Structure 1
C-alpha cells in the first residue's frame, strides 16, 4: 500500500534503514495517540503499534478497528505521516517510548542487534500456510522473525490504446522497452516512467540480468557483465527524451499513468483498483523485461511485515496480540489485503480463496507474481541498498562508468558483509 500522496519518498524498496540510522528522539509530533483498544478483559495491559501512513482511503480506520476488537489489552496506534517513517521508527526504538509492535521489512540488523523477537512459536504451527518465500525472507538460523501481512508485486502498467495507436507490442527485453518507449513518446506523453529516483528498478534490473544481490553464501552476486550492460542501457533510456522525469508523485502513486503523463509506468499491484477505475479496460501489465539472454522477466515483490520489539516492556503481551491479529484473524487479514487496494495475502489459503484475485487483471498479476516473483534477501542491508542506488545515480543520471562504480560499491558492500557475517 502506498503512502499518503504528499510524500515523494519511495516506501516500496524493501530493507530501508539500518538500526541507529536516525538520532534518538521522541515521536510526540509524528502521529496521533489514536485507536484505543477495547481492553475488555480488564487486564490493564497497554500496547503501542506503529504503522506508516498508507495512501489508500480506509486503511487507518481499518487498523484501529482491528485493534479495538482485541480484548486482552488496550492497543494504541501511532499512524505516522510524512516522508521519513523509517527514521522516526528507528529513533523511537532507541528511547523508552519505543513501540511494542511495528511494521517494517525483514532486515538482518534487527535480528543481530536483538531488536526483534523470535516469532517461530507463533508462525511455526501455520508455516505451511504461508508463501514459502515469505518464510525464507524472515528466517535467520532457523528462527522466524516477523509475520508477513501483505505481498506487493510490482510490474509495468501500460495503456493498451496507446500501444495499439503506435503499433507496438509488449516489450520482452530491456532493449525492446527502449524502442517501445521511443515509439510511444509524443509532445504530450512520455513513453515510460520508472519513478523520480529510479531506485525502485535497481533490484529488478539485477534479477532480469540473470544476477542476484547476494548468493547463497552471502557474497556479492550483482557484479556481472549483464548488470554492467543493464546500467548502460538505462543510461540510454535516461538520455533519450522518452523517460518521464520529475513527475508530481513518485512511482508508487498511479497518477502519472492515470493522468496521461506516460504510456507505461512501473508501479505496484496496490494501485491496480485506482488505475482500473480511471482507465477501465485500457490497462495491461507486464514484468520487468529481461536484460540479457541469461536473465528472465522479473516481478519484484515488496510488502510489509509485523515485528515485536524484543526490547520492549510487554514482549509476551505483544506476541499474543500479533498472533491474534496476524495469525488467527483471517477475516481481518483478508480485509487488509483486499479491501484497500489489491495485495496478495501471504497466507496461501487466503490467496487461493480471494475472489477479487481470480479473474481479469488481478489474476494476471497473481500469475506474474507466481511465475516471475523475486523476494528480498534479509541480508541485503540499507548500506548495501544505498551503495547500489549510488551506482545507478552515478551511471544512469551522471553518465559514469558502470564497471568503476560497481567496483566502488563492492568495497562498501563487502565491509557490510564482513560486519554481519565475518
Structure 2
C-alpha cells in the first residue's frame, strides 16, 4: 500500500485525533519489532517512522539500510497504514516523537517549525532531482524534505475483458461509466475507485480542467465542470456497476487480481503483484477527461523523508537522511524497484532503473511524464479533508455538488488565510 498519497486516503481531523491520542497516552510503541541496528557504537540513537508498505520485503529492506549505517543506531517503527498518520501526528506532540519520518510535503509542517530545512544536504545534488519534486518541497527558497519515491496512480484494466465486451479504453468520464456498465457481470463489477471513492477526488478536479489551488494559493476547484463531474460520479456510484465493499482497499491490487472488478484505480507499486497474478492481461489508462475542456490526469503520490526540527538529534538525523537518501544510490534504486515499482525522483537513478524501461512499467512512466500532477505543498490535511466531505456528501450521498463545493471553498479559504494571511 505504498502510496496512501496525500490527496488520497480517507482522513479525519488529524490534529484533533492526535491531541486525543496524546492525552490517552497511546503513543509509546507503535511498531513493535524495532529493527534496531545496535552495532554502530556511536552512542547516538535515532528513531524513524515508516508506514507499512504492502509489498513483501520493504520492511526488511528499510531495516537493512538502517543497520548498515555506522553513524547512529537507527530504530524503525513500522506502522500499519490506516493508523500511520494519526500515530505520526500524535507522536510529534510528545517526547516520543521520531527523529526522522516519512510523509508528504505540507506547508503547515514548515510553518509550525516541525520539519528541518534540508537545503544544505540537497543543494549539491538538486539538479539530479525531478524539478517538480524540488518545487513541491520548497517554501521561500528553502527545501524541506527529500523525496524518496514518486508513485503514479491510474486505472488498471483487463484487455481480454475489454475485447470480450467490445469496448475501447475510455477517453472521457462518460465512456468510463459506459464501460463499467458493459463490463459488469453477475460475478465481476465494472470498476473499483476505492471503498470511499476519495482516491479519485484530485484527478476528478484536474481532469475537469480545474486545480486544487492556483499558483498564488487561491481556491481553484469550485467550477461548473467539477460539479458536473461529481454528478457523473454520483450516477456511477448508484448504478450498481461499481465495487463498493472490497475486502482490501484501492492501494491493494487484490480486488483486481482476484477478478472482483474489471477496472481498478491503483498505483504503479502494485504492478509486480498484478503481473504475477495476471501475466500480460493488464493495461493502464489515466483518469479520463471530464467535460469538453478537460484533460486526462495521473496522480503522482509518493513519499518523502523529513527531519523532526523539534527533536533532540536534528544534526544526527540530517546526517542519516543525507547518507541514505542522498548518497546511497544503490539503496535508493533497490527501494524504488525491487519490491513494488516506484519512479526514483533522482534522474540518474530513474535513467538506470532497468525494470522501468519496458512493458507496463515503461508505460506507467510515460503516463506519469505526460499527465502527472505533483503534490502542492500548500494543499494541507484540512483542505484534503474538506474535499473528502464533498465526495461523501455529493457522490455517496445525494447532496448538491455546487453547494458542497461552495462549502469546501469556504473552509479552504479560511485555512489559506491562516497560512498565508
* TM bracket, shorter-chain basis: over 0.9
**SS of equivalent residue, structure 2 residue 233:** helix
Deviations 1:89-143 (A, max 9, x none): 1111111111110111111110000000000001111111111111111111111
Q: Indicate if the aligned counterparts of 1:149 and 1:306 stay in contact, CA closer than 8 A.
A: yes
Contact kept in structure 2, 1:129 and 1:347, CA below 8 Å:
yes
Distance 2:312 2:91 in 1: 14
Tell me what 1:315 maps to.
314
Query: Number of paired residues?
Result: 415
Tell me if structure 2 keeps the 8 A contact 1:193–1:245. Answer: yes
Q: Report the Cα distance in structure 1 between the residues aligned to 2:6 and 2:266, rounded to whole angstroms.
A: 9
Once the two structures are overlaid, the 10-residue window that deviates more, 48-57 or 361-370, is 48-57
Q: Do structure 1's residue 31 and structure 2's residue 27 form an aligned pair?
A: no
2:59 maps to which residue?
Answer: 60
Q: Distance in 1 between matches of 2:285 and 2:169?
A: 7
Contact 2:55-2:339 within 8 A present in 1 as well: yes
1:95 corresponds in structure 2 to 94
Structural mapping, 1:173-322, within 5 Å: 173-322=172-321
Once the two structures are overlaid, the 10-residue window that deviates more, 201-210 or 383-392, is: 383-392
Q: CA deviation at 1:29?
A: 3.8
Name the CA shift for 1:29/1:74 in 2 (closer, same or farther; >3 Å).
closer
- Aligned pair 1:22/2:18, yes or no? yes
Tell me how far 1:2 sits from its aligned partner.
Answer: 3.1
- Listed one character per residue, the Cα deviations across residues 263-304 of structure 1 (whole Å, up to 9, x for unaligned) are 000000000010011011111000000102222111100001
For residues 374 and 114 of structure 2, the distance between their equivalents in structure 1, rounded to whole angstroms, comes to 22
TM-score scaled to structure 1, two decimals?
Answer: 0.95
The structural deviation recorded for 1:28 is: 2.9
Give the equivalent residue in structure 2 for 1:7.
none
The CA deviation string for residues 131-182 of structure 1, in whole angstroms up to 9 with x for no partner, is 1111111111111000001110000000111000000000000011011111
- Quickly say closer, same or farther: Cα 1:358–1:188, change in 2 above 3 A: same
Structure 2 residue aligned with 1:6 = none
- Residue 13 of structure 1, CA deviation: 3.3
Unmatched segments (≥5 aa) in structure 2: none
After TM superposition, what 4+ stretches of structure 1 lie above 6 angstroms from structure 2? none
Structure 1 residue matching 2:76: 3-state secondary structure = strand
Task: Go from structure 1 to structure 2 and tell me whether the alpha carbon gap of 1:116 and 1:290 turns closer, same or farther (over 3 Å shift).
Answer: same
What is the deviation of 1:77?
A: 0.8
Question: Structure 1 regions of 5+ residues with no counterpart?
Answer: 4-9
SS of residue matched to 1:76:
strand
CA-CA distance at 1:236 after TM superposition = 0.9
Shift of 1:21: 4.6
Aligned-CA RMSD value: 1.5
Q: Is the 8 A contact 2:118 2:144 kept in 1?
A: yes
Of 76-85 and 140-149, more deviation after overlay is shown by 76-85
SS class of match (1:383): helix
Scaled by the length of structure 2, the TM-score of the pair is 0.96
Partner deviation per Cα, 1:321-371 (whole Å, 9 max, x = no partner): 000000000000000000111000010111111100000011000000000
For each residue in 1:29-75, what CA deviation from the matched residue of structure 2 results, as whole angstroms up to 9, or x when unmatched? Answer: 411251222543x3311111111111111111101100111111111
Q: 1:82, CA displacement in angstroms?
A: 5.5
Aligned-pair CA distance for 1:241: 1.3
Deviations 1:208-231 (A, max 9, x none): 000000001100000111101110
In structure 2, the residue matched to 1:132 is 131
